[in-house]
Each structure stands twice: as C-alpha cells, then as structure tokens.
Amino acid sequence: MRVFKFGGASVKDADAIRNVADILRQYVGTPLVVVISALGKTTNALEAVTDAHIQQTGKAAELLQAVCDQHLSISRQLIADEQHPLYSHIAQLCSGVAAMLSRRPQATYGFVYDQIVSLGELLSTRIVSAYLQTQGIDNEWIDVRLLLRTDNTYREGQIQWKHSQQQIKTLVTPIIKQPKMAITQGFLGGTIEGFTTTLGREGSDYTAAVFANMLDADSMTVWKDVPGILNADPRLMPNAVKIAQLSYYEAIEMTYYGAHVIHPKTIKPLQNKGIPLHVRSFVQPDQDGTVVSKNADNLSTALPPVIVIKANQLLLSVVSKDFSFMAEENLSRIYEIFARHRIKTNLTQNAAISFSACIDNTPNRIKELLDELEEDYSVKSNAGLSLVTIRHYTPEAIAQQTEGREIVLEQKSRYLFKCWCDKKQYFDSL
Ligand code: ASP
Ligand code: MG
C-alpha cells in the first residue's frame, strides 16, 4: 500500500484540486491513504483568527467568515449542487468555530489555537473527498483525530504510538483493502478527552510518515510544486539541481538545518521501517522526483554541495555572572533550560565562561527562556540572523556563500559540513 501527502499549494484553489483528482485517478483500485493539508495559506489565516480571538480585537468573527467564504467559493467551483452534503459539513465546521469565538477565551493559547486552526484540514479534506466522489473516485473521509491519539501538548502534540497504531490498523486497513481510498487530515491529532491537537507547523508530512510506518507501507509520496529535492532553494540559487537519490541520513540532516522541502520529523518513521520516500511534482506528475531510501546510502560521496538556509535566527551569548567555568555543570543546566522551553539550539559553541547558541527566534517562548537564563547568567541576544549550512562543501561553494557576509559564529567538520550564523536576513517565507 501507498501513502500520499498533498500540501497546501497542491490544493490551493479549484484548479489545483482538479489536478489532484487527475493524479489520484491513476491509483484507483490500489490501496492508498491520502493525507491532505489545509488549502493554500489557510493555516496562517486561522492563526490570525486565533490571535484576534485571544486579544479580543473584535475582528475574529470577520476573519473566520473570510476563511469560510473562500472555502465555499472553491467548493461551488467544484460542486455546483448546493444540496450536496459537503455544504452542510462546511456549515457545521464553520459554525462550530464561530460559536467558540462568541465566548471569551477561557483556556490556554495553545488549546484555543488547536481548536481553531484545525478547521483548515477538516475543511480541505471534506472538499477534496466530496469532489473525488463526484469524479467517480470512491473514497472514505476519515477523522484523523480518532486515529492519532496525542498527549495534550497543544501545538506540538506527541503521538501515543501504541493506541494510534491499533486504531489505524483496525479502522483504516479494512477501507484500503476494499480497495477504497482513505482521505484524511495531516497535522491533527486528538487527546483522550476528545480535544483536537496539532502536531507543529508543516506537520502533515509527519502525519503521512506515521501512517506509512504504522501500516507498513511500500512507499510514501509527497507531491510538491518543485521537481524533487534540490541542492539549494531555487529562489536563492537559480542554478539549483535536483538530486535523484538521497539517503535517509542526508535527508534528515538537510531538513533539520532548514531545507523546507519536507518536515524533518518525516524521515525517522520511514527510516525505521525502510520505507522509501518519493518527493514528486504535482505539476509534472509523470516525472521521477527524488527518492529517499536506504539504497542511496553509498551515494553520498557523489552529492553536489547542498546549501540550506534557516532564516530568522537569534544569537544568544550566555556568560556566567560569577565567572564559573562553562563546563559540564553549567552546560547541562543551560541545556535543561532550553529543553524545558522547547527551544532548539541549531549551532552552539562554548569558551571558558561563555556559551553561544544560534536558535530559532520564536518570540513568545524566547522571553520566558531569557527571563530564566538571566537569573544566573548575563545574556546578550542578537536578532535578524540566518543560519547557513553547506554539506559536502567545496571551496567554491563556501566562497560563493560567504562573500560580503558578516559571520558571527561558525563550525566546520573535515569534509562534510560547514555551518555558520551570519548577519544577512532572508525573506520570511524561507
Ligand atoms: N496546514 C499546516 C501548516 O500549514 C500543516 C501543513 O501544511 O503541513 O502548517
Ligand atoms: Mg501548509
């Protein structure tokens, strides 16, 4: 069996959804689970609804209405008959969130966020599922929140593996055996109490990988608007080239350091079961994309320099106030504080009494982190940086990437890896 994942760009409007149907039509009669994200930039729009609700700006209902109207308009272009059950599903989902907005927020930001933002995937899967059915592509819409049980870490739900696997095996296997396509939501999970959780932004790739793992899939495919995995972001390097085969190891390193093509958490569940990952273009579905698999383990030496950039970094310099050495005791304490605030250190270095780290600048968590660190350390922070990583570097690639840049922290291994944090800020969408 196969698992497919379609991201926001692949379902951004009615034409895009028709294109998804064209791709799926070729797989009718084969066992297939299809994991879908919210349409286009819906998640961002729903984040704005959440913020407006939490801050009680008075704009939340209006912003929600715009999201619902846009989904209705796309639905009308796909299914003209307004008596179709799709329209009552949309009305029900939208009025559920509207009712929540009409009350003052009582719960934590994370809880409220997940209950609102999950609307995106619930709507997108309803629309795609209904449209496929009208096209004669028999499928079943499944509520992933009943399958993937998570803890209640809202916005970063941790999947409870055993229960989820049992649910998936019992509820999904009979559907795909018929064979009928199973259509479900990426990015979402559910707690034991029946509340919705989300798995972290861009988490639909991970959802698909979890399904692939639990169902022992033969392969997983992520359908993208790029021809596969490239050695650099083509928006920054027009001469970027596609890599035909990549090992799990290379793929996880690239994505961890900021290659946006797939979510870094996607690799582990696939690697653990040796399931190949295909990254293919929904624009040119007849082309081979990139295959990430164990067969590529010996091909790493043939790779071109792979350049990944992570924007919006913050450099922290942490110095012990009492001049105690930055040795194991202080370091383990500092790392413990980072872990508790769920801040990932992307690049670190230490000296006699100082520790420097280049970290993701996630504003609401950073403030709490700084408050705690400042109790025992003097801390300086420097925002607006970028983290540049070159794997399989060459002197030319380094020269090209470092020209005219002011590097503030760097690391290099003998052949493989060079990474630095510098003062150039890339555009936000990177
Ligand atoms: N819709 C969610 C997001 O934009 C999940 C995903 O696209 O993977 O973050
Ligand atoms: Mg998305």
| Per-residue pLDDT tens digits for 89-129 | 999 999 999 999 999 998 999 999 999 999 999 999 999 99
Q: What is the pLDDT of residues 220-251, one digit of tens each?
A: 999 999 999 999 988 888 889 999 999 999 99
Q: Which residues line ligand 1 (CB under 6 A)?
A: 7-8, 37-38, 43, 120, 186-187, 201-204
Is the pLDDT reported for residue 393 higher than 60? yes
User: 86 CB contacts (<8 Å, ≥6 apart)?
Assistant: 75, 79, 126, 127, 130
Distance from Cα 302 to the centre of ligand 1, integer Å:
33
**Secondary-structure percent of the chain, ordered helix, strand, coil, rounded to 5:** 40, 25, 35
ω into residue 285 within 30 of 0, thus cis? Answer: no
Q: Which ligand places an atom closest to the C-alpha of 205?
A: 1
Distance from Cα 7 to the centre of ligand 2, integer Å:
6
* Total residue length of the chain: 430
Q: Which amino acid is at 102?
A: S
Going by their DSSP bridges, the two strands 306-320 and 377-391 should be labelled as antiparallel
pLDDT at 236 (0 to 100): 81
Average pLDDT estimate for 356-361: 93
Average pLDDT estimate for 415-430: 72
Q: Which parts of 7-130 are beta strand (E)?
A: 32-36
Minimum-distance ligand 1 atom for the alpha carbon of 201: 9
In the chain, the percentage of residues whose pLDDT exceeds 70 is 99
Is the pLDDT reported for residue 392 higher than 60? yes
Is the pLDDT reported for residue 210 higher than 70? yes
Give ∠ CA 125-130-134 in degrees, rounded to 5: 150
Q: Among 118, 188, 202, 255, name the best residue to mutate to test ligand 1's pocket (greatest count of ligand atoms within 8 A of Cβ).
A: 202
Is the pLDDT reported for residue 328 higher than 50? yes
**Phi, psi dihedrals of residue 194, rounded to the nearest 5°:** 95, 15
Determine the distance from the C-alpha atom of residue 249 to the mean position of all C-alpha atoms in its chain, rounded to a whole number.
19
Is the domain covering 306-422 a CATH 3.30.2130.10 domain?
yes
Q: Which ligand places an atom closest to the C-alpha of 262?
A: 1
Average pLDDT estimate for 154-167: 97
pLDDT at 299 (0 to 100): 80
Confidence tier at 405 by pLDDT (50, 70, 90):
confident
Minimum-distance ligand 1 atom for the alpha carbon of 41: 4
Minimum-distance ligand 1 atom for the alpha carbon of 7: 7
Confidence tier at 159 by pLDDT (50, 70, 90):
very high
Q: Name the residue with higher pLDDT: 14 or 402.
A: 14
Q: What is the pLDDT of residues 273-288, one digit of tens each?
A: 999 999 999 999 999 9
Is the pLDDT reported for residue 133 higher than 90? yes
Give ∠ CA 134-141-17 in degrees, rounded to 5: 50
Is the pLDDT reported for residue 152 higher than 60? yes
Distance from Cα 371 to the centre of ligand 2, integer Å:
32
Distance from Cα 27 to the centre of ligand 1, integer Å:
24
User: Residues with beta carbon < 5 A to ion ligand 2?
Assistant: 8, 37
Is the pLDDT reported for residue 415 higher than 80? no
In the chain, the percentage of residues whose pLDDT exceeds 90 is 85
Q: What is the pLDDT of residues 73-93, one digit of tens each?
A: 999 999 999 999 999 999 999
Average pLDDT estimate for 163-189: 97
Is the pLDDT reported for residue 257 higher than 90? no
Q: What is the pLDDT of residues 297-319, one digit of tens each?
A: 888 778 999 999 988 899 999 99
Closest residue CA from atom 2 of ligand 1: 202
Distance from Cα 174 to the centre of ligand 2, integer Å:
29
* Distance, CA of 70 to CA of 53 (rounded, Å): 20
Domain boundaries, the chain: 2-217, 306-422
Q: Count CB atoms within 10 A of the CB of residue 239.
A: 7
Closest CA to 42 of 86, 81, 106, 90: 90
Minimum-distance ligand 1 atom for the alpha carbon of 202: 8
Q: What is the mean pLDDT of the chain?
A: 94
pLDDT at 25 (0 to 100): 98
Is the domain covering 2-217 a CATH 3.40.1160.10 domain?
yes
> Tokens 């800020």 label which residue?
425
**Phi, psi dihedrals of residue 342, rounded to the nearest 5°:** 50, 50
Is the pLDDT reported for residue 180 higher than 70? yes
Average pLDDT estimate for 384-407: 90
pLDDT at 427 (0 to 100): 52
Burial pattern 15-33, b for ≥16 Cβ within 10 A else e, equals: ebbebbbebbeebbeebbb
pLDDT at 237 (0 to 100): 84
* Distance, CA of 315 to CA of 422 (rounded, Å): 9
Least confident of 27-41, 301-315, 370-384: 301-315
Is the pLDDT reported for residue 430 higher than 50? no
Is the pLDDT reported for residue 429 higher than 60? no
Least confident of 62-66, 198-202, 229-233, 358-362: 358-362
pLDDT at 363 (0 to 100): 76
Q: Which ligand places an atom closest to the C-alpha of 188?
A: 1
pLDDT at 426 (0 to 100): 65
